Amino acid sequence: MGVPKKRKSKMKTALRRSHHALEGVNLVACSNCKTPILPHRMCPGCGFYGGKQAQAAEA
């Protein structure tokens, strides 16, 4: 089984982890009520999806 011969430097570790940062959430406006929602999801406020009423609105 392979074992590292030398310790990785802090710089090499940081360079490897440079792509691990979290990205922001992509939000779009609901076509009916303009509430920010996740794309390809039903709006929890008005119940619309794809310009049609998908479900009765929650009270």
Looking at residue 50, its pLDDT comes to 85
N- to C-terminal Cα separation, the chain: 60
Q: What is the pTM of this model?
A: 0.58
Distance CA 46, CA 37 (A): 11
Looking at residue 57, its pLDDT comes to 61
Chain segment 18-58, per-residue pLDDT in tens: 999 999 999 999 988 999 999 999 998 888 998 888 877 66
User: Tokens 């310790």 sit at which residue?
Assistant: 7
Looking at residue 19, its pLDDT comes to 94
Q: Are 54 and 40 in contact (CB under 8 A)?
A: no
CA 1 to chain centre: 38
Distance CA 48, CA 56 (A): 9
